[in-house]
Every structure is written in C-alpha cells, then in structure tokens.
Amino acid sequence: MNVKLDTSVLERLPELSLGVIQYAGMTLSESPKLLQGRINLFLESLRVDHELAKITEIPGVLYWRAAFKQLGIDPSRYRPSSEALLRRVLQGNTLHWLHTAVDVNNFLSVRYALPFGIYNQSQISGPITCRLGTETDIYPALNGREINMNGKLLLADDHGAFGSPIVDSVRTSVDDQATNLIHVIFFHHNIAPNEREEILGSTARMMTEINGGDVVFTGLVTNEG
C-alpha cells in the first residue's frame, strides 16, 4: 500500500503518523442490533465519564486541536471528525447508523478520540499522499456541502483530494456494495508507537470479525518512511 506524508505537512507537524489498513473481500450489511447495543452501551459510559463543557480536556481532542493549530487550521471552525462525533455523543445524540463498515469506523473514532477514515478502494487511483490542500482542492463532502480544502490536512490520489481528518469526500465513500476498503487512522504525536500498533490491531480485528474478508496490509506511515 503506497501511502506517504508530504513535506508540506512534515515541516509543520514532523511527528504526525498514519495507521493504514487494507481489506479485501468484505461483506457489508446493516449493523445488527447486538452491535448497535454494544456501541450504545459504550456511548452511555462516555456520557457518564465526560461532560460536553470539558470535551477539550479529552487527550485525543486536546492534542488534535493543538495539531490543527500547528498546521494553521482553526479547530473551532474546522473540527477534527473525532471531536465532532464526540460532541454529538456528549450532547445525548446517537451515531448515524449506515452499515457495518461506517458504523464500526465511527465507533472506533469515538472510542480512541482519533480521526478515522474508511474509503472505497475501487474509487482510489494511484498512491495516496497526506498533504496540505491548495486552492484547487475542492470536493463534495459527506456532510452535504462542497468543501474547500485549501490549507487543510487531506489525503489525495491521482484524481485529487478525497479524504481528511475533518470530513471525507463523496467520491471515495463506502456503500454497502463495497468489498475492498482502506482504513486510515490519523495519530497525534502523543500516542506511543506500541499504542499505535495496538489500535491498528484491534481495528483490523473488529472490522474483519464483523465484516469478514482479509487484511491485505497493515502498517504505520511516519516521518521515517
């Protein structure tokens, strides 16, 4: 899996790393009630342990907001996707149920307070680069808006920008017919290497236990290559 960090990012955030998992042969479906119940039980425990007013004290939220500021991104205007999900949960709302890949992805993003992206590999062409956006990086996003990614952290392939720790594009979105997927986890610098490996492993296990298929590739993309 050819994924790299561009110098435009590493100059400002040298300790950024990405966790990448490639899956093949998955079968996606509506999330069963048992899975929804398990996730909802975890969300209830989050509401007990955390207050919305103190959300920025959650380490993952705190560190990713700091990383955004270091990249020149206003985290109050463009929130990391994990923070947006956590805010929704702490406001007493449920996650939007779509299918087993997206639902698990959102659950893991909330669980670890990290931006997670899940992408349809069939809609990705060529190597993936994590870089800062330019004025030409504009795409229809999953929030129903056309988003200008100029100056924002993003993922791009041969066709241009498609993903971000803020919001992903419609182009590479995963529907229930997708079988080959790519998972990208955006790790902040305060997560130790062994913890990153543990998160990668637990993510791959949960995804394949629920959706079947095989893990074709898993690895960390860092400044060291």
Over residues 86-111, mean pLDDT: 95
**Which amino acid appears at position 135 of this protein?**
E
The order of strands in the sheet holding 160-163 is 3-5, 128-132, 153-157, 160-163
CATH tag for 3-221 (out of 1.25.40.340, 3.50.40.10, 3.40.190.10, 3.40.50.620): 3.50.40.10
**What is the pTM (predicted TM-score) of this model?**
0.96
133 three-state secondary structure: strand
Q: Which position has the higher pLDDT, 1 or 187?
A: 187
225: confidence class by pLDDT, cuts 50, 70, 90: low
**Which amino acid appears at position 176 of this protein?**
D
Mean pLDDT of the chain: 95
User: Taking Cα atoms as reference points, which of 180, 136, 196 lies closest to residue 160?
Assistant: 136
16 three-state secondary structure: coil
| Torsion angle in degrees (nearest 10) through CA of 28, 46, 70, 223 | -50
